[in-house]
Amino acid sequence: MHFPELHRHLGGATHPRILWGYIEKQSSDLAIRLLARYGDYSRFRHEFERPFRDLADYLSVHHLVEELQAEDVGYFAHRAVRGASVFEAVDVLELRFNPYKRTRAGLSEDDRLVDMSRVVDDIAAAVQTDFPIRTSFILCMDRGFSPARNKAIIDLAKMHPACVAVDIAGPYQAGGPTIAEWVELFRYAREVGLSTTAHMAESDPIDVHPELFPYLNRIGHGIQIGLHHPQHLSELSKRGITLEVCPMTYLRTNTISDVSELKPVFDRCRDANVRIAICTDNPALHGESGRLVNEYERLVRAGVIHFNEILDLADAGYAAAFTHPA
Ligand SMILES: [Zn+2]
């Protein structure tokens, strides 16, 4: 059996051992600084596996990885893709990342926007592998970026054949687009033929924006809709919007304290005919049980889904995938 993986961040897809191996081999300022800060692999690994306070603390490790990956993004992307194929039986992988955050440091704004294209080229070349996996990219816009910079990310996704969709990610920050501006950005993305998803209703019950629903194919997480705003589920069903649910993330961010708390989300989505795709988000931050199959297993063990639903849930993922068949 194989599985589709529709929600995985490049920044959270590299096992800490691969990152540490890279740090030990490199002589960049960042590598030297990280080597001095952590000293050995066990302390570095602890940074990934320690308990996190909340979503912001969880994302802080993400930023550390993004900075390191920017040094040789292809090296890390290649390892993330072959690992997903061999160790997780993933055959459709939609890998998401913010291309701007991986541009070369020290460039001007205009040069960084140009360099984004080189970043996507490098990753697209690196993910070519003989393993049986189809990989495509979802480019992440950022809640802290200006509308113009986010639009440049849409324009890049539109031009690059490896890119299938755009997403909103990152923590809330001042200076980012308003909801009205996000609506315009997503409307534009759909107009130019891209598919769309958006991180929403992940850990904050008020982070629900129905204004965006008309322009979304999928929602990253969306569990707070199932838990606290089930009145929106009929609209999600009508629009064919799939939720990308990543159970371990909600434990790691203290959004829930037990996986069984997700049962109402699955029950209500099943009743309302809203599709759910099971995903991992950032498996490198989830310890030894961070693989995609562990997410299915967690849900079965907690009584959230029945074992007999696994095939249907995997099929729901394939049906919601943006990646075109080979
Ligand atoms: Zn995510």
In a domain, 325, yes or no: no
In a domain, 103, yes or no: yes
pLDDT single digits (tens) 46-86: 999 899 998 888 888 888 888 888 889 999 999 999 999 99
In a domain, 326, yes or no: no
Count up the domains in the chain and report the number: 1
Instruction: Give whole-number Cα distances, 260 to 142, 267, 295, in Å.
Output: 31, 11, 13
In a domain, 176, yes or no: yes
How far away, in angstroms, is 285 Cα from ligand 1 center?
12
Half-sphere exposure (Cβ direction) of 76: Cα atoms closer than 13 Å = 29
Instruction: Give whole-number Cα distances, 222 to 207, 256, 313, in Å.
Output: 9, 14, 16
How far away, in angstroms, is 97 Cα from ligand 1 center?
10
Vertex 48, ends 298 and 89: CA angle to 5°? 45
pLDDT single digits (tens) 178-232: 999 999 999 999 999 999 999 999 999 999 999 999 999 999 999 999 999 999 9
Backbone angles phi, psi at 167, to 5 degrees: -145, 160
Average pLDDT, the chain: 95
In a domain, 40, yes or no: yes
Q: Do 102 and 14 form a contact (C-beta atoms < 8 A)?
A: no
How far away, in angstroms, is 169 Cα from ligand 1 center?
7
- Angstrom distance (rounded) from CA 52 to CA 143: 22
What is the domain extent for residue 70? 3-320
- Total Cβ atoms within 10 A of residue 178: 9
- Angstrom distance (rounded) from CA 312 to CA 324: 20
How far away, in angstroms, is 267 Cα from ligand 1 center?
23
In a domain, 49, yes or no: yes
DSSP state of 243: E
Query: What is the reported pLDDT for 326?
Result: 58
Q: Do 77 and 10 form a contact (C-beta atoms < 8 A)?
A: yes
Q: Residues 89-110: what's their mean pLDDT?
A: 94
C-alpha 161: how far from chain center: 19
How far away, in angstroms, is 199 Cα from ligand 1 center?
6
How far away, in angstroms, is 7 Cα from ligand 1 center?
6
Domain containing residue 203: CATH number: 3.20.20.140
Q: Is 40 exposed, middle or buried (0-12, 13-18, 19+ CB in 10 A)?
A: exposed
